[in-house]
Amino acid sequence: MPEEDSPKFVFVTGGVMSGLGKGITAASLGRLLKNTGLDVTAVKIDPYLNVDAGTMNPYEHGEVYVLKDGAEVDLDLGNYERFLDVDMTSDHNVTTGKVYRSVIERERAGDYLGKTVQIIPHVTREIKQRIRGCAEGHDVCLIELGGTVGDIEGMPFLEAVRQMGNEEDDDDFLLVHVTLVPLTSKGEQKTKPTQHSVKALRELGLHPEVVVGRSEEPLEDETREKISLFCDVPEDAVVSAPDVDDIYRVPLVLEDEGLESYAMEELNVKARADDTSWREVVTQKQEGRVEVALAGKYDFEDAYLSVYEALKHAGLRHNVDVDVRWVETDRMDEGDFERLEAADALVVPGGFGERGTSGKLEAVRYARENGVPFLGLCFGFQMAVVEYARNVAGLEDAHSAEVDEGTPHPVIDLLPEQYDVEDLGGTMRLGDKETRIDEGTLAHELYGDDRAVERHRHRYEVNPEYIDDLEGAGLVFSGTSVSGNRMEILELPDHPFFVGTQFHPEFRSRPGDPSPPFVGLVDAAIDRREARGERDTAGKEKEEKKEMDVDVDVNVEEVT
């Protein structure tokens, strides 16, 4: 039997189709529960056979999000960290690969004492142990099951959920099902897909206690009544989740629907606080806007999701909307250069491989030479080093050894201690690392400290053999690793804002606690926009005065 102070488990499943927003729904519910003073954590279950997301192409699964312990995970973990304002670990991402690997290793070690190893009970027991391990010490644990009900990959996980439903007390277990409520061409909301989705769950022995209907518009009363009737849930447990223009407003929508109140009643927990800080941050009125160019090779927002979110957070800090304009570095054309010219700032994000490199170098050079506020992240930091080496330090054909093994000047390279490591994973720097920051630098001003802890995901470094050449040409490395042999932050003192970070500051950015480099970038973007606006106004007034002078001359001639 569960103990008196055992955690509450809230499972979130999805039906009809993928991409409905299960993760945002779960994260939003978690935010609402945290607002009441509850200690909330989360687990994301990914049914794919990969052990983690580290080897996945961003087009397949969006960005690879990095946790503090170096785990490479699904981007939904980023949403959980941002919404709940917590740091998670590898344990909070459960994959089929992790589960099966653990079970097989135990079988090889003889832990099952010669038993036939099966999905039930061995695999499901492993799943349950992982979930309960993450929940220990917390009031509520949210568990999102990736994929859609009916997917063959998800069957062992749904069976584990069914077993937990029987093993936990009724008020320690809640199942929330997120489904699609589509619109016909005549604007009619259809509930049949939801009915079939819930039927599929019930055939597996699971009965949802809350149904969240995702739709373009709020659910109509008739739609809500129909879902309640056919899916056997109370009407106040049918939650409308219409499309919104900002994911950070989803908790407010669900709060208006009474989701957290219903969940707390079902879980038999009471509020301990009334935290309104989230509402205050996300509902503040934005008084301006800036345009930021994002120069990358994946024309797919999810590939750079944390960068988009970090820019949004910095915009919240400055009360401005940040419009991101995509610049395709793989095949830069006239339109891409026009977007660069029109931008108030530029971000060159991380990435691996040769594709898009030349376009990134062109974008960096444009920003450096034209005073455009610039932030380079990881590979973007490295491309800033390469561009400076080529065009300022006089190191012709300088490059990264990752991209060009034959470059005469490998200003970006593996460090000597990495040369003999054959396993690619062994050369990766992952997770939280401390950076020492020099006083009197822009980086020190941004962080307000002489140290910072940020997350890393890279293999190549600034080559120590070229640091003197680069610094002699004016480039400043204002942040280094604790050992001093790894360059972590670069800047240009005579530029409005030119900063590069070998780490990924976007992974630690939160709506109420934005990343310092992004805050600095948006601040510089505002200054640039205002300055250009003043110049435009001055130019316009000059032209108008010139036209008036011409009119006066003409009139004088006519009188004469």
List the catalytic residues. 378, 504, 506
Structure-token pair, residue 368:
């450096």
Nearest-angstrom CA–CA distance, 293 and 296: 10
Residue 277: half-sphere exposure toward Cβ, Cα within 13 Å = 14
Cα 405 vs. chain centroid, distance in angstroms? 32
Count Cβ atoms within 10 A of the Cβ of residue 1 and give its class: 0-12 exposed, 13-18 middle, 19 or more buried. exposed
Nearest-angstrom CA–CA distance, 134 and 129: 9
Nearest-angstrom CA–CA distance, 185 and 378: 46
- Residue 400 bridge partners (DSSP): 412
Going by C-alpha positions, the residue among 87, 179, 175 that lies closest to residue 507 is 87
Structure-token pair, residue 510:
């939160």
Residues 6 or more apart from 528 whose CB is under 8 A from it?
344, 345, 371, 372, 373, 496
Reduced 3-state DSSP string for 62-95: CCCEECCCCCEECCHHHHHHHHHCCCCCHHHEEE
Going by C-alpha positions, the residue among 35, 32, 30 that lies closest to residue 7 is 30
Q: Residues 288, 294, 295, CA angle at the centre, nearest 5°?
A: 155
Nearest-angstrom CA–CA distance, 83 and 77: 10
Structure-token pair, residue 388:
């400076």
CA distances from 283 to 175, 276, 316 (A): 30, 11, 9
Nearest-angstrom CA–CA distance, 281 and 83: 12
Nearest-angstrom CA–CA distance, 268 and 262: 10
